[in-house]
Structure 1
Amino acid sequence: MDFSLLLNAIIAGLLLGGFYAAVTVGISISFGMLDVVNIAHPAFIILGSYIAYIVNANFGVDPIVVSIVALPAFYLLGAGIYQIFYVSFEKRGQDSLRGLAFFFGLLFVTEVVLVLVFGVDYRSVDASYIGASLRLGPLEFPYRMLVPCVTSLIMFAGLQIFLGRTFIGRAVMAVSQDPLALRLMAVDPTRIKRIAFGISIATASLAGACLIIIQPVIPSVGRDYIGRIFAICVLGGLGSLPGTLIAALLLGVIESITSTFYGPSWAPAVSFGILLLTLAVRPSGLLGR
């Protein structure tokens, strides 16, 4: 076995895993902490990609910068969507299947709108670092993968600090476990959930910019990540951000090594096989409670 080829495959896998973490963190918050199965999350990631594309194509602004500026708008969008979901389903005590149908509908409506506006042609962005690589001896770090990975790690660090060291952050982690305790502390669980869901959608802005840096996008490409997103969320342990990050890096490395030595078609089978094996041994996931 070529040792340098293996090292480069591991590096590529870690960088890919960093991107997977960025696209999964929103689901980890909504599904793992709020018990809201937002199957439409990939559609908001693609929306973030197209916003980055529009501004980059017209003004030449870096996609990451665009996504940071768009964070408040995505947060408000998420808060509004949760309010509709709450009034229509949670407040009425509707079963989770109807809520899931709501998000499925949101997924396809968003895709159809993007198709009508942008068509089905692939769209990409332009940045000085796309196509370049950092080389350290035999090791290669493509910037189109390195920049999204670093962006994802910074986002994870910021969210972990927010959740662990602020009152609202701790309330978010507690809201699905004991909403009555929050009420006794004069905290409205619905407001906390609205804030948390807004944050989960805001992460889609950064994830969308990372995606369009890595590859060209079309409106339906988000569906390619639905299974992988939920697999990483479950593998890491529902609601555990460190677990989500570890699971994303693990699956990224497994997919990269499998693709390098056995072909890309084997990568999903092997990664999901690892998921099933892990859950058979530890059903709560890697860092689940």
Structure 2
Amino acid sequence: MVSFDLLANAVVSGVLLGGFYAGVAAGATISFGLLDIANIAHPAFVVFGAYGAFVLGQRFGLDPLVAALFVVPVFYLAGLAVHQVYHRAFERRGDDSMRGLAFFFGLMFVGEVVLILLFGVDYRYTSAAYASTSIKIGPVALPLRQLIPFLGALVILAAAQLFLSRTFIGRAILGVAQDATAIRLMGADPVRLKRIAFAISIALAGAAGALLLVLEPVEPAIGREFIGRVFAIAVLGGMGSLPGTWIAAVMLGVIENLTSIFAGASWAPAVSFGFLLLTLAVRPSGLFGR
């Protein structure tokens, strides 16, 4: 018999974890949903961001949240460079499907090897005091190591949504996703807009990596755990819908936590794909797709 306190804590923990998942999936929602670029290496960039925050913390004593402010511009520039290579090698030649996917797979594994060579396979973690602190509200505990990534992810999604919906470049990016030819006829460069959008997706991955370091210790291969979740959330949310990404991620986090309680932790990873398949069978466009 599961007690009410245990169930309440599981739901709250699932909401906090799902919110973090949304922050991880935000960049993938842009690249996969808006740009039609299946960046399977997206979780690897999240791990790079975590290690970047770790290095800044070790050398300069920066909190991961402060380190994120330095990680984001570096990852934005890296995103510009990656898209430049991807566009020249695949998009420009009209060969941006399977070979492009292989490119990102290779990028992911090369990056993992580089991290192993630089840092080894030991887990790295933040020494921030709040990582082991909790706030109690009645029977419910709110661990700051989960609450802070949840709030940080909320900021990431809100900033990305405001940029896309309220700025000229953001609306132009949405226009490219709908009709690149029309954007070109209006005098804008679709390739440049896609490059900016892809760079933003990588910058968001770097910021999410700093939040990951707060949530749990990291090692080079930890990004593999997020591949299924990230793309399941992007599809479930409606392929390009950031609000949909948030809701889908929170739903997934709660379902995973409840699955861990009632069926065991070993079943939780399968929920991402099971929930995805069920939703696509009923609503192929995702929960919030048009």
Distance apart, 1:95 and its partner CA: 4.4
* Structure 2 residue identity aligned to 1:247: A
SS of the equivalent of 2:37 reads coil
SS of the equivalent of 2:7 reads helix
Distance apart, 1:275 and its partner CA: 2.0
User: 2-side partners of 1:282 and 1:271: how far apart?
Assistant: 16
User: 1-side partners of 2:45 and 2:21: how far apart?
Assistant: 15
Q: How does 1:1-289 map to 2 (within 5 A)?
A: 1-289=2-290
User: 2-side partners of 1:63 and 1:3: how far apart?
Assistant: 34
Q: 1:208-247 deviations in whole A, cap 9, x for unaligned?
A: 1111111111111101111111111111110111111111
SS of the equivalent of 1:91 reads helix
Does the 8 Å contact 1:75/1:198 carry over to 2? yes
Q: 1:50-91 deviations in whole A, cap 9, x for unaligned?
A: 111111122221101101222111101001110111111111
SS of the equivalent of 2:131 reads coil
Distance apart, 1:25 and its partner CA: 0.7
Comparing 192-201 with 106-115, which one deviates more in the overlay?
Answer: 106-115
Q: Percent identity?
A: 59
User: 2-side partners of 1:72 and 1:30: how far apart?
Assistant: 18
User: 2-side partners of 1:95 and 1:228: how far apart?
Assistant: 23
* Structure 2 residue identity aligned to 1:220: A
User: 2-side partners of 1:273 and 1:50: how far apart?
Assistant: 31
User: 1-side partners of 2:169 and 2:151: how far apart?
Assistant: 26
SS of the equivalent of 1:120 reads coil
Q: How many residues align?
A: 289
Q: 1:21-70 deviations in whole A, cap 9, x for unaligned?
A: 11111110001000001011111111111111111122221101101222
User: 2-side partners of 1:186 and 1:151: how far apart?
Assistant: 37
Distance apart, 1:261 and its partner CA: 2.8
Does the 8 Å contact 1:68/1:205 carry over to 2? no
SS of the equivalent of 1:35 reads coil
Does the 8 Å contact 1:236/1:286 carry over to 2? yes
User: 2-side partners of 1:95 and 1:147: how far apart?
Assistant: 37
User: 2-side partners of 1:27 and 1:145: how far apart?
Assistant: 21
Distance apart, 1:271 and its partner CA: 4.0
Q: What is the TM-score when the length of structure 1 is the normalising length?
A: 0.97
Distance apart, 1:164 and its partner CA: 0.6
User: 2-side partners of 1:96 and 1:276: how far apart?
Assistant: 22
* Structure 2 residue identity aligned to 1:237: G
User: 2-side partners of 1:230 and 1:278: how far apart?
Assistant: 13
SS of the equivalent of 2:288 reads coil
* Structure 2 residue identity aligned to 1:161: L
User: 1-side partners of 2:218 and 2:144: how far apart?
Assistant: 18
SS of the equivalent of 2:44 reads helix
Q: What is the TM-score when the length of structure 2 is the normalising length?
A: 0.97
Q: Which runs of 5+ in 2 are unaligned?
A: none
* Structure 2 residue identity aligned to 1:205: G
